Amino acid sequence: MLDIKLIRNQTAQVQTALAKRGDYDLQPLLDLDAKQRQVEKQRSDLQAQSNEVGKLVGQKIRQGADPAGDDVKALRASGNEIKQTLSELEPHERELKANIEEILLTLPNLPDDSVPVGKSEAENVEIRRWGDELIAAGRSSLPTYETHYDLGERLGIMNFERAAKVAQSRFVTLIGAGAALERALISFMLERHVKAGYTEIMPPILVNSESMTGSGQLPKFAEDGFKCDRDDLWLTPTAEVPLTNLHRDEILTADQLPINYCAYTPCFRREAGSYGRDTRGLIRLHQFNKVEMYKFVHPNSSFDELEALTRDAEDVLQQLQLPYRVLALCTGDMGFGASKTYDLEVWLPSADKYREISSCSNCVDFQGRRANIRFKASGQKGTQYVHTLNGSGLAVGRTMAAILENYQQADGSVRVPDILQKYMGTETIGAPSSESP
């Protein structure tokens, strides 16, 4: 959430920054803010008058005035009138504040000055690539590639038809080596991040509306979520939601920062805005597994921490020997809460292109302000909002898709990446047996 004081005091700068992300009119917000401050001053002045009247009544009585006399009665009547006015102003002020917050919750984060300006993904900027030699070697050894979903179904390790029978479309059932590969990837990713200094968390999968609001999913992305109305709980769309809210309404100490968490969760999204896209395979499912990295950091170091977070996600791909590239997202393609984002895109040879597998974002104080997470430095009176960062480390289903495609062999099998063989207990995933489900 943006700071209303920043919008009030630097309106032109904020309006210019928001214009890089879309069409946002700040005037209705500014009008409400001016009205709220006017009412607040009126209420404050009346409260001071009420207090002064109370003091005068006490003084007159102490000086010997008759409590039932005309002077005291007149003062008390004046005090009652002021209290009546206050009783009408206070709910009006609360309503104005609620209206202001309602608008603030719909405004995206301001892009950092280093973010490329653009309207769509076509204007994202490639920063670097890794694994070009792996792509070239694959092309020379295997002229044509099966898609991961055709390969998975042929090997009997995934089944979309039976998943649809159990649930609906855009779900998958993983079988045998498919389930083992998913589990191996989760274990590998978590162990890698723990060794790198992240604390593993196993959070609730159901989260309340306050948590969804604090992390930025509500109100903007309500239609993308799966909600349990009876309990005001949502199936988490990403572990970013519970991880953000672990410290909601807390004041940390500067010595506690940075706090680095990682977590595996199933994630649930309706993908309401993507109907007709990626209707087959593991790329865009309603339920998918993901390992998330999350940081609470000091404002002075958040952009350095973004570079470190991105390197942590890249290291997972490098250990798996999966070619990828890093993009700096433009202003028009960044997520709602991000101030700066790097996307990692993994190589899918069947499509002959890169596809997103991780987004690493610095949200600066956007989530800290929404979730009221602050810190206090030793010797300082005031508090500051923490900066938060999040990144997929990685999306597990998309990683499996990339492994199946990049590691497929000429004989129709799939070689298991070296780093995963100790988890899988095998070097290859071969043709299915006749007893496969």
Output the known binding site.
238-240, 269-271, 292, 356-359, 390, 392
Pairwise CA distance, residues 404 & 178, whole Å: 10
Annotated binding site for ATP: 269-271, 356-359
Annotated catalytic residue 284? yes
Annotated catalytic residue 398? yes
The single-letter DSSP state of residue 280 is: S
> Residues 21, 170, 192, 269: which is the catalytic one?
269
**Count of C-beta atoms within a 10 Å radius of residue 82:** 20
Helix (H, G, I), strand (E, B) or coil at 339: coil
> Residues 192, 369, 398, 405: which is the catalytic one?
398
* Torsion of Cα atoms, 160 then 263 then 359 then 1, to 10°: 120
Residues in the chain: 437
Region of residue 197 (phi > 0: left; psi between -120 and 50: alpha; otherwise: beta):
left
Annotated catalytic residue 44? no
Pairwise CA distance, residues 306 & 328, whole Å: 12
What residue type is 259 in one-letter code? I
Region of residue 93 (phi > 0: left; psi between -120 and 50: alpha; otherwise: beta):
alpha
> Residues 284, 311, 325, 355: which is the catalytic one?
284
Annotated binding site for L-serine: 238-240, 269, 292, 390, 392
Residue by residue, DSSP assigns 203-227 as --SEEEHHHHHHHT-TTTTGGGSEE
Residues 6+ apart with CB under 8 A from 185: 396, 399, 400, 420
> Residues 359, 369, 374, 405: which is the catalytic one?
359
> Residues 187, 209, 356, 415: which is the catalytic one?
356
Residues with catalytic annotation?
269, 284, 356, 359, 398
